[in-house]
Structure 1
Amino acid sequence: MAGVSKCLKYSMFFFNFLFWLCGCIILGVSIWLRVSKEAQKELQLDQTSGMYSAIDLLIAVGSIIMVLGFLGCCGAMRESRCMLLLFFIGLFLIFALQITAGILGAVYKPKIEKEINDTMSKHLPLKNQDLNFQKALEKFQQEQKCCGLVTGISDWGDLPAVTCSCEAPNLCTTVSGRSVYKKTCAAVIIDFVKQHMAIIIGIAFGLAVIEIVGLAFSMTLYCQIEGK
């Protein structure tokens, strides 16, 4: 084992200790959200909420990160080629899946607007929707300064109580003598998704750089350790 670089060895350990610590935090928080009634009440989660699927996914991600961090730490300190190889394979698979997801996201990004508009169109006309849906949409219109779902105020038909009234000149348009928000709520949702996709892509790129560093560290250390 004489050719192993101590600097590389301890750098690998420190890198994976942080990796393992992040996994612990993700796992701990996600389990707490899954079992804590107070947290579920605060976040307004119920058994039909899609958030539970996201929390379950975080539990899986946190567990995987913890295992990989443990393999990396032990592999570095014990100079175990087996552990380092397992770490490399696991991290490489995550990296490959991440790249695949990024490619699929880039391919389907132009279709986002069409998919959202098609989904929203299924709720038209709005006057045929239940009262709870209408009230929720009116609240969303007030908060996001938008009107209607796909085409504007005409989505509401002849319903009189529609909170689309606009007082900000740069956000308004005039329809049948009324000043209403010119931006549709579907457009607001599309903008939100596109903006956050850019953030997600940026985070994914940063994680990819970290993963490449981890792959390089583990393989270099693996090659330096003499086979037994």
Structure 2
Amino acid sequence: MSCFTFTKLLTVLLLLLVFLIGLTLLALGIWVTVDGNHFLHLLWPFSKDYLTFINVGLFCIAMGTALVVLGLLGSCGAHKESKFLLLTFFSIIMVVFLTEVASAVMVLIYSSFAKEIFHEWAIPALQNDYGIDPMVTEIWNATMIELKCCGYSNFTDFMGSEFEEQSGNVLPATCCINSDPCSPTEAARLPVQGCFDHIVETLREESNIVGGIAAGVGLLEIAAMSIAMYLFSRQDEKVS
């Protein structure tokens, strides 16, 4: 078996696997969309707080459709040795790859301004909106409870705020460990840190995971484009 034949066969098999995965995701997405209540009931321990906010069905349908199209294009192009299908497959993968690279660059650029952007929003929100605006209050309460932190830098972010004035010099309960009500004196005595460092650390951990997955996907896309171009170029050699 020649190298070309082996590569062609391996490519067809791998892309058929991609096609089957796409069909599975598509079927799952349709099931979730049509019978979402039953799906959430099956995954109740994991879905109560998260899946209700994510349209899992549409996401699976979109991903499944994309994989089905790519699998069909690539496998048919490799099997039939069609230059048009191989070139179309290569072009789609290239567009996806370049979009991912552009997105990664934008994330890197804006992440360098994250501290300034967050600071510009956080301090005024704590001073003027916390305890008054339900959305801001809910966001900060959820963050402080989850990360066990207090304010942006520390409890002093609440000093002189609308919340402190309305509550009678009382701070949020998360600023103190075992003291209710939480006074500024008690908060100063306890080692409860601000939320910014915790948020940065959490984002760093999550970005490492996402970056690893993105790198793996990028390598697979490069491999797919290389194989498509190899099969495409062999067609020119056959013609010549």
TM-score band, normalised by the shorter chain? 0.7 to 0.9
Matched residue, 1:27: 26
Q: Residues 1-228 of structure 1: matches in 2 within 5 Å?
A: 5-35=4-34, 36-39=36-39, 42=44, 43-44=47-48, 49=53, 51-52=54-55, 56-125=58-127, 126-130=130-134, 134=137, 137-138=140-141, 140-148=143-151, 150-154=152-156, 155=158, 157=164, 158-159=169-170, 162-166=173-177, 176-178=185-187, 179-225=189-235, 226=238
Which one has the bigger helix percentage? 2
| Higher normalized contact order (CA 8 Å, seq sep 6+, divided by chain length) | 1
> Shift of the alpha carbon at 1:69?
1.1
Measured in 2, the distance between the counterparts of 1:104 and 1:63 equals: 27
The residue type paired with residue 68 of structure 2 is: M
Displacement of 1:159 in angstroms is: 2.9
Residue deviations 1:23-66, cap 9 Å, x none?
334434444444413445743589x94x33x8645533332222
**Structure 1 residue 181 displacement after superposition:** 4.7
For the structure 1 residues 86 and 201, does the alpha-carbon distance in structure 2 shift closer, same or farther, using more than 3 Å as the test?
Answer: same
What secondary structure sits across from 2:126 in the alignment? Answer: coil
Q: CA deviation at 1:161?
A: 5.6
Which stretch shifts more, 63-72 or 183-192?
183-192
C-alpha RMSD of matched pairs (Å)? 3.4
The share of aligned pairs that are identical, in percent, is 22
Task: Report the alpha carbon displacement of residue 110 of structure 1 after superposing the two structures with TM.
Answer: 1.0
Counterparts of 1:133 and 1:164, CA distance in 2 = 17
Question: What letter is aligned with 1:176?
Answer: T
Q: CA deviation at 1:205?
A: 1.3
In 2, Cα distance between equivalents of 1:60 and 1:142? 35
Amino acid at match of 1:96: L
* Count of residues in Structure 1 that have an aligned counterpart in Structure 2: 215
- Specify the SS of the correspondent of 1:215: helix
Moved more, 26-35 or 209-218: 26-35
Structure 2 residues without counterparts, runs of 5 or longer: none
Structure 2: distance between partners of 1:31 and 1:194: 35
Q: Take 1:5 and 1:101, find their aligned partners in 2: how far apart are those partners?
A: 35
1:148-200 deviation line (CA, Å, top 9, x unaligned):
2x232232522356133238xxxxxx962444453223433332223222222
